[in-house]
Chain A
């Protein structure tokens, strides 16, 4: 008997199963972060959930092509950004949907604060500041908003943001600088 026959070759089905398991693990690890980024971008819980599902579906389809040049999260974020862009592009064509949005307003979004030990006065002050940051974010361009949220909500560094957005690091820094200037202006009254 030949020595090669002793090792059973991995079947295509087995390889796919292993890949699916790997992907399931990655998806479970990063799903919350993807959802959070999309929620912060849209302020719409239903939409963020739908886009998260779309993102993970697309990621699963191209999981075989992921070579690990960047972290899995960066790769997933890139897909999430593209899914979001596609959504807004399609939505622009669907004029009757433009009037309807489930996005919560800035004040409602500002209500969310972690239950800390701070006093009611401090909570109120924090809520005001959060509201101002939301208002500043609302006025940012799409790219500025994406870069700002990845930096200050997801705490990604500039090089990761550059890889996720497909921009150069210099451009990312420029967008961040403009976004921060906007936030600074908005917060100007509360310093």
Chain B
């Protein structure tokens, strides 16, 4: 420790410019000394409760971190569930679309077959045509 103050309170070796800030530095030193002395000699009923307060803060920090972790996990699960639900709906829609297309194909095939059947049933072989005309013309008898 130097005990370096001169009689007027200035630091030795201080240049003239520093002399201008010397009062501020002196007040600063006095202020810190006053503060630390007051805190150092203060009777603290809170000393006993300080660990309790720290423990309480630590508990709070744990609870908060657990809550945040749980929230993050829940959000992850929820997002996953949501994605699965969307995928399931998309798959369902695709299946319905495929089923509708298959039904339409089947309907079209049936119509086509029916048309072919009716066309085939109405057609008369050309070799039998004169006989058919005779049978349908009563005046020809």
Contacts and interface: CB of A to CB of B under 8 A. Distances in A.
Interface of A: 31-32, 35-36, 39-40, 45-46, 48, 71, 73, 96, 100, 109-110, 112-114, 126, 129-130, 132-134, 152-157, 160, 180, 183-184, 187, 190-191
Contact of A153 (B4, B32, B38): B32
Contacts, number: 92
A29 B18 CA distance: 32
A103 to B, nearest CB: 13
Given A39-B35, A40-B36, A112-B32, A130 B27 contact: yes
Secondary structure call for the B interface: helix
Going nearest first, the 5 A-B pairs with the smallest beta carbon separation are: A112-B35, A36-B36, A129-B24, A133-B28, A157-B2
Contacts of B36: 32, 35-36, 39-40
Interface in B44-97: 50, 57, 61, 64-65
Contacts of A39: 32, 35-36, 39
Nearest to B20: A191
21 contacts: A32-B36, A35-B36, A35-B40, A39-B36, A40-B32, A45-B39, A46-B50, A114-B31, A130-B24, A130-B27, A130-B28, A132-B24, A133-B24, A153-B33, A155-B4, A157-B4, A160-B1, A183-B21, A183-B25, A184-B20, A191-B20
B100 interface: no
B4 to A, nearest CB: 6
A36 B31 contact: no
Taking residues whose C-beta sits less than 8 angstroms from the other chain, chain B's interface range is 20 to 34
B37 interface: yes
A184 B21 contact: yes
A115 B138 CA distance: 146
Most chain A CB within 10 A, of B3, B30, B61, is at B30
Contacts of B39: 35, 39, 45, 48
Contact of B29 (A71, A152, A180): A152
A113 B17 contact: no
Contacts of B61: 96
A39 B64 CA distance: 30
Interface of B: 1-5, 11, 17-18, 20-21, 23-25, 27-40, 50, 57, 61, 64-65
Nearest to B61: A96
B35 A156 contact: no
A191 B61 CA distance: 47
Given A96-B61, A96-B65, A156-B1, A130 B31 contact: yes
A129 B5 CA distance: 20
B15 to A, nearest CB: 9
Contacts of B29: 152-153, 155
Nearest to B42: A45
Contacts of B33: 36, 114, 153
